Amino acid sequence: MEALLRWLGVQPRPFRALLRTFVALDLRGQFYGLATGAKAGELVSPLYWVVGQMLTVSLLLTALMQGRVEAWFYAFASLSATAVMVFSAVVVEFQEAAFDPKDITVVGHRPVSSRTWSLARGLNLSLYVALIGVAMTLFPTGMGLGLRDTEVRWLWLFPWANAVVAVGTAALALTVYASGSVAGPGENLKKVAAWVQILAIMALFYGGQLMLRDGSGGIGLVPLHLDPWVSYVPTLPLGHAVADGALRPLFLGTSVSTLLTVVAWAALRRAWERVSRVRSTDREVRVSAPPRAGTLSRPLVARLLGGRRPAAVHALVRTVLARDSELRARLVTVLAMPAAAAVLGPLTAQYAPPSQQSTTSVLPLATVALLASTLPTAMHALKASRDHRAAWRLAEVWGPSGRSGARTALLSWLYWPFVLAHAGLCAWWWSAPVEAALHGLVGLALLDFVSRLAAHSLWVRPILSVPPVRGGTLGGALGVVAGVGALASVLGGLWFAVAPWPLATAGFAALLAVAGQFVDREIR
């Protein structure tokens, strides 16, 4: 072994020490802490939870397809899921598993060659990818053997193809991000990729239920109506090769994955050398500073919000949202159910215009009602912040004007973009932009009315004033959550009743707007 390492230009002893250290840090580190919700003080590492989530995704996907599709599509879908999961894992934990510029502060002063460091980091990443690949292989390999058109060769052809996809995807991601001017993906992309597993589980669970309850055999018809661009996906020929027992595509895929692995190792070496040169010339890597508050009350915002006090609170809340990643994570999670409904509705042909008054036209209204019912949860989450000791700044301006500014900040940051995106989706799906615009208008009015009621019930004291530990629960807000959910359901039913008539729908939106103003005036 040492002879091989020396032939590769790798120092054996530093290599073993680095690899042992990297693996120990991986097992104890915060892999996927953002997606799994595990914290640093918990005994079980998030790495174990992420393996469980991978197994869940694989199990749900295979159970949904079992006995309903042919073997080639079964293999194609499973291999594609492996590619997506491995790519998201590499993106999220790129700095921890593949390339951490802070390593230079630990081993930069020691005579460790770039080949030694890059090989240790590469093998560390390969162990992580192997763990994910095995988790995504178990269920398709065992359950796929029970398909009608599979043979015993499935037991070794599918794991082979799955390993090719996992290694190739990881090597491609490593090559792309290690070759950049700043090694590693951006923070926003990492936060999005961290939720891929959770969203995949929700989509498979709820989408599978909708397809199975449909009763029209929609799952079995999916392979017959694939878009032309799917033929360019590399996992499609691999899926056919696994089902047909063809070895040439598998050997070709193995060769491509091996070549990508060599290129990725070279890119990793170049990245380490680049960081070493920066360190040797005493240049510092620029780190983006957190957003600053800036002017608290701009004239236009103050005029729109009705004064400088609500504009100041609006600016402070937006600044806290820009700086506090934990608060943003707690708020974004409340949109899981409405987002799932908006995605699964068109996919299952359950998203007809409400004016048709059919069973397939309920889900567009239900999506907005679900969105409105999440407002109390989001408002309760906004009570907590890691900067809660600075909440005294809000005490002097809190009251009706302060609640108005904070409510507008929450709506403009999280809810209004969702409603506008949903209206755009409806306009495209329905081919009726006017009805979709009216749909979005009623959604905005419904959110405004519900948010005013919830703000007066939940925001009696200044927000952002309690530690995040307390803000993670719904303690004292369950009654408001239940009441607002029931109210949103009733208003959604009324909306469905007037949906066939555009003038009546516009009048319903105007009535909600007037009711919101009435609530504000009476409670004050």
Single out the residue of 165, 104, 85, 96 nearest to residue 125, CA to CA.
Answer: 96
Q: Please give the average per-residue pLDDT across 135-164, as a whole number.
A: 89
Single out the residue of 488, 500, 496 nearest to residue 453, CA to CA.
Answer: 488
Distance of CA 463 to the CA centre of its chain: 26
Between 198 and 364, the higher pLDDT residue: 364
* Tens digit of each residue's pLDDT (9 = 90 or more) over 166-203: 999 888 888 877 776 555 566 667 767 777 777 788 77
> What percent of the chain has pLDDT above 70?
79
Q: Indicate whether 519 pLDDT > 50.
A: yes
* Tens digit of each residue's pLDDT (9 = 90 or more) over 313-352: 888 888 888 887 778 878 888 888 888 888 888 877 788 8
Q: Which residues pair with 384 in a beta bridge?
A: 466
**What is the phi/psi pair of residue 511, to 5°?**
-65, -40
Single out the residue of 16, 31, 130 nearest to residue 82, CA to CA.
Answer: 130
Between 159 and 181, the higher pLDDT residue: 159
Question: Collapsing DSSP states into helix, strand and coil, what is residue 19?
Answer: helix
* Tens digit of each residue's pLDDT (9 = 90 or more) over 271-299: 666 655 544 444 444 444 444 444 444 66
What's the pTM?
A: 0.59
Rounded CA gap, 411 and 433, in Å?
23
Contacts of 25 (CB under 8 A, 6+ apart): 96
Are 116 and 174 in contact by the 8 Å Cβ rule? The answer is no
DSSP string, 411-478: IIIIIHHHHHHHHHHHHHHHT-HHHHHHHHHHHHHHHHHHHHHHHHHH-SSPSS-B-HHHHTS-TTTH
Q: Indicate whether 404 pLDDT > 80.
A: yes
pLDDT bracket for residue 442 (50, 70, 90): very high
Rounded CA gap, 374 and 337, in Å?
9
Are 321 and 328 in contact by the 8 Å Cβ rule? The answer is yes
Question: Residue 513 is encoded by which pair of tokens?
Answer: 């707007």
**What is the phi/psi pair of residue 351, to 5°?**
-130, 45
Distance of CA 122 to the CA centre of its chain: 26
